[in-house]
Structures are given as structure tokens and as C-alpha cells.
Amino acid sequence: MRRITVDIETINATVGGGFDPNDMKLAVACIHDSETDQYTSYKEEELPSLWPILERADVIIGYNSDHFDIPILNRYYTGDLSTIHSVDLLSKIREALGRRIKLDSVAQATLGRKKSGSGLDAIKWWLNGEEEKVIKYCIEDVRITKEIYEYAMQNGKIRFSDLGKKRDVSLDTSDWESVNPSSLTHTLPF
């Protein structure tokens, strides 16, 4: 089972900013590949090296990835990454709980540690030329997401902070690692 955990950082493509994914430009994509146990980063010009890894994934894991990361990556990809089996942890939590929970809240309660910044921090760092700082931040978010996924697979739940108390959310992980044949359009030779 090849699991690719993904996170991206973006910058505003339009003057004045905003949070419309259609107005976002990729700054960097970071992944963990379970096959190599490596964390790697890809700037826009390096994305052709990322595509064969994603194309060979059995599952793509992320946090808000089905609604943010994958659609933005799809703008750079000639196929359709949404045809690869994915587990969007935020969507799974929302299905079980009925509301969205911030990754930082889940990380604190489940793993006992906070995120190292925010997406807004990453945008500022990138625009200030601090690209390595953004890459380290993005890789740390990948690490957190991967560890939350592993916790959920092992325990059938995650934890989150709610008004100063830790609460559990039960998650049905039974189909998270089911492998379905993909109708993915491959762009590169194997």
C-alpha cells in the first residue's frame, strides 16, 4: 500500500488577496511517500517530478485536500488527480462530527503538539523570500497529517480540543486503504 501524504502552500495570484482557490498560485507542494519513507518538496517548476509519484499512489492523504490541495494541483497537471483514491481527514472528521475542525486543534489533542505556523504566515514568508521556511512549515504539516492518519487507523478515532477540553471523534477507517483500479490519465511513461 503506497500512501502519499500531501500538503501545499499557496500565494495569492491576484492583487488584494482573498481565499478563493481559483485565485491561488502554488508556492510549494510537500509529500511523504510511504514507499521511501521520505519527505520531499516540489516548487512549481519541479512538479513534473511529483506526477509519477502521485500516479503510483494507492491513496493520497491530506487535510482539506479534496477541496483545496488536489484541485490546485490539478490546475498544473494534465490528468485528473481526483481519480486517485484519497482520504481527506477534514472531510472524514466533518462527516463524523458535523463541523470542521482546524488541523492545529486536532494536532494538539491527538499528537500533543502545535503547528509551527499558519497558511497566512507561509504566504508572508514566501513573499519575503523565505522559501526554505515555507518548505519546512509545509513538511511539518505533512508530518502532522501523516501521524494523525496513522493514529486514526490504529485507534478508529482522532482527538480535538473543544473549549479547553479534549474530545474524541470516532472515524470509520475500514475503507481508507481499499485499493480501487484508477481511471487516471497518466502523463508520463513508466
Query: By the 8 A CB rule, do 187 and 79 touch?
Result: yes
Query: By the 8 A CB rule, do 104 and 114 touch?
Result: yes
Helix 119-127 with 131-155: angle, nearest 10 deg: 160
Residue 108: partners with Cβ closer than 8 Å, 6 or more residues away:
114, 161
Query: By the 8 A CB rule, do 171 and 158 touch?
Result: yes
Q: Output the tens digit of pLDDT for each of the chain's 190 residues.
A: 999 999 999 987 544 555 566 678 899 999 999 999 999 999 999 999 999 999 999 999 999 999 999 999 999 999 999 999 999 999 999 999 999 999 999 999 999 998 888 778 888 888 899 999 999 999 999 999 999 999 999 999 999 988 889 999 999 999 999 876 554 444 544 4
Q: What is the pLDDT of residue 190?
A: 42
Q: What is the pTM of this model?
A: 0.89
Q: What is the pLDDT of residue 3?
A: 98
Q: Which structural domains are found in the chain, ordered by start?
A: 3-170 (3.30.420.10)
Query: By the 8 A CB rule, do 102 and 162 touch?
Result: no
* CB-based burial label for 85 (10 Å; 0-12, 13-18, 19+): middle
Torsions phi, psi for 19 (to 5 deg): -120, 20
Query: By the 8 A CB rule, do 177 and 34 touch?
Result: no
